[in-house]
Amino acid sequence: MSNWFEKSAFEIREAVAGGTVTAREVATSFLDRIDAVDEKVGAYTQVWHDEALAQADAVDAKIAAGKLVGALAGVPISLKELICTQSGETTCSSKILAGFQSPYDATVTQKLLADDAVVLGKVNMDEFAMGSSTENSAVQKTSNPWDLSRVPGGSSGGSAASVASATSAISFGSDTGGSIRQPAAFCGCVGLKPTYGRVSRYGLVAFASSLDQIGPLTRDVRDAALAMNVISGKDPRDATSADLPAEDFTKKLGDSIAGLKIGLPKEYFVDALGSEVRALVEKATKVLEDQGAEIVEVSLPHTEYAVSVYYIVAPAEASANLARFDGVRYGFRHPDAKNVSEMYVKTKSEGFGEEVQRRIMLGTYVLSSGYYDAYYLKAQKVRTLITQDFDEAFKACDIILTPTTPSTAFTMGEKSNDPLEMYLNDIFTISANLAGIPGISLPCGTSASGLPVGFQLLSKAFDEATLLQTAHCYEQHADVNLGIPNL
């Protein structure tokens, strides 16, 4: 069978480890698929053809020698452009890092390679993860595989598009304010943002250090659990990674959710929510209720401030994190500068795109003397209130259910000239990042025009097991199988 690209990561791993197929055959199937469809989609910025086949051959050699193979043996994956890899380049889809080769692998990269995953290459993103549509990439445009005139979401748009178009079995993205969950909803795949600290950020090029988390985009929930087993864990090189014992996230899959309390926050079911999205999210709620879950109303009263808080905290952290990209040691340097200050100004003006410049200036402003207390300090206080809202809500329920996005994927260019309109696209996802809790987006059907719709489940910090159990229960009992788009 040559269509291994149609299979889930779990099915691929079982077939490779069991000797039904070689890792090379699987890798070849995916590489052929990339050759056939990615010109239309534009998910990949780099395809590592020879290296992927060499990794696959190494897995086959291990099996032939009778050695134990890893949890992702032979599974073809893609990595977002901001996850450091010694192979290829790590550009964050920005001109300022064009040609940059990382001297080390991110912890997540190391773990994936150690567990015998096959890395097909890197995928596109909004520059430095700043955006909700992947239109801010300095490299190329990425299309939504379900409708090539529409965006795949962002900033992990390339990751979602690669999974949806079956050009990777799993992709690893990052989520700062919804950057895994929103593209997952737009492209009809599963996207999991782990609890802050669950996965090491070492080797993840930082956007906003108190918000960023690496997570998987997959075809189904079991694959997400499988991926989490590999990438989670304490890392001494990341001071923010949590020191918790290893957990098997597949363990509770299949367990009943009878008696589980699912909270619907009234602040998320507002007029801004599209009618088609609302109807499908309500239908998803009914599926879980039919499986024995108890539906309760909860309140998250400070939700209305989440977008404002996020767009103070995230740019403030970005302005500090991106100061290092100055053209001195690596990356792009403007050739025509007469002195050092001119070199800084010209390099940053030409190296960073418009959205990145906008956020750096916004972040520098809110941190500046005289404005710090009025903006940044106040935003941090409201962030605490948002976190407390979730603490209170979880006293009344085990899981919170919300829409992932207010609408389906919008057309390219539709929101490019209105940053505020673009920012509001993350209205339902941002709060989870501010509170540091885990969230997962799942497909719950398609709109009348055939575009995927997603809904979101949130749980207490470090309770990904219950989150995945609930998501898997929905997936098993809902009649939602989007399949692979016709490209």
- 407 in catalytic set: no
- Extract the tokens encoding 431: 């709060």
| CB-based contact 481:424 (threshold 8 Å) | no
- Extract the tokens encoding 130: 């700043």
Please state, in angstroms and rounded to a whole number, the distance separating the CA atoms of residues 408 and 340: 47
DSSP of 277-328 = HHHHHHHHHHHHHHTTPEEEEE--TTGGGHHHHHHHHHHHHHHHHGGG-SSS
State how beta strands 294-298 and 213-218 pair.
unpaired
Bridge partners, 456 (sequence order) = 402, 441
Please state, in angstroms and rounded to a whole number, the distance separating the CA atoms of residues 276 and 448: 8
DSSP state of 455: E
Please state, in angstroms and rounded to a whole number, the distance separating the CA atoms of residues 131 and 176: 10
User: Is the C-alpha dihedral spanning 463, 465, 469, 475 positive or negative?
Assistant: positive
User: Is the C-alpha dihedral spanning 390, 393, 395, 398 positive or negative?
Assistant: negative
CA distances (Å), 487 to each of 28, 144, 364, 484, in order? Answer: 19, 11, 44, 9
Q: Which of 137, 162, 179, 232 does the annotation list as catalytic?
A: 179
Q: Which of 29, 87, 155, 459 does the annotation list as catalytic?
A: 155
Q: Tokens 């009263």: give the residue.
A: 301
> How many helices (H) and strands (E) in the chain?
15, 11
Q: Cis peptide leading into 275, omega within 30 of 0?
A: no
- Extract the tokens encoding 211: 């918000």
- 155 in catalytic set: yes
Nearest alpha carbon to residue 46 among 99, 95, 117: 99
* Burial grade of 458 (CB within 10 A; 0-12, 13-18, 19 or more): buried
Q: Which of 62, 80, 415, 460 does the annotation list as catalytic?
A: 80
- Extract the tokens encoding 416: 């490019």
* Burial grade of 450 (CB within 10 A; 0-12, 13-18, 19 or more): exposed
- 80 in catalytic set: yes
CA distances (Å), 151 to each of 44, 46, 79, 101, in order? Answer: 15, 20, 19, 28
Residue type, 138: A
Type and span of the H or E element at 114: helix 107-114
Please state, in angstroms and rounded to a whole number, the distance separating the CA atoms of residues 113 and 109: 6
Catalytic residues: 80, 155, 179
